[in-house]
Structure formats: structure tokens, C-alpha cells
Amino acid sequence: MTREELKKIRVVQKIVDGHMTNSEGALTLGISVRQIIRLKNKYKAEGEQGIAHKNRGRTPVHALSDDMKDRAA
């Protein structure tokens, strides 16, 4: 996980534990309260993996194939 994702996990964990409010968490991460609520719900449903970006490790849909790259070179 990236440092940013780890920071999100720590902040969301503090919110879930009651040590921080949604507003304080939003200010800490620089996102809206609505986004904090969405992160909190994902964290409760999926755990730490819910915070991680879902496209990690995938090739982009618009990426050129290796064959096309070879022909262009």
C-alpha cells in the first residue's frame, strides 16, 4: 500500500474508534466529509483492502498492445 492509503486507513480507523469526527478526518486528509463517510463504509465492509485502489496491478484499458508498440518502433 502507498503512504497515502496507509494514512487514510489510520484516519478512518480513528473515526471508527470514536477518537476523531468525520469533519476532523476530512480536514486531515483534505477531502470532503461525504468522501470520508464513503471511505468509512468501505472500511467497515471490506477492511483495509477496501481503501486500496482497485485498479492496482491491471493494465489500462487504453494501453497499446505489445505488438502495436513493436510495429510503431
> Whole-prediction pTM value?
0.72
Q: What's the confidence (pLDDT) of residue 53?
A: 76
Note the residue count of the chain. Answer: 73
Comparing 1 with 64, which gets the higher pLDDT? 64
Contact 15, 25 (CB under 8 A): yes
SS3 letters for 4-71? HHHHHHHHHHHHHHCCCCHHHHHHHHCCCHHHHHHHHHHHHHHHHHHCCCCCCCCCCCCCCCHHHHHH
Please check the confidence at residue 65 and state whether its pLDDT lies above 90: no
CA distance 68 to 73: 9
* pLDDT digits 0-9 by tens, 37-61: 999 999 999 988 888 877 777 888 8
**And the C-alpha cell for 28?**
486531515
Q: What average pLDDT does this structure show over 9-21? A: 95
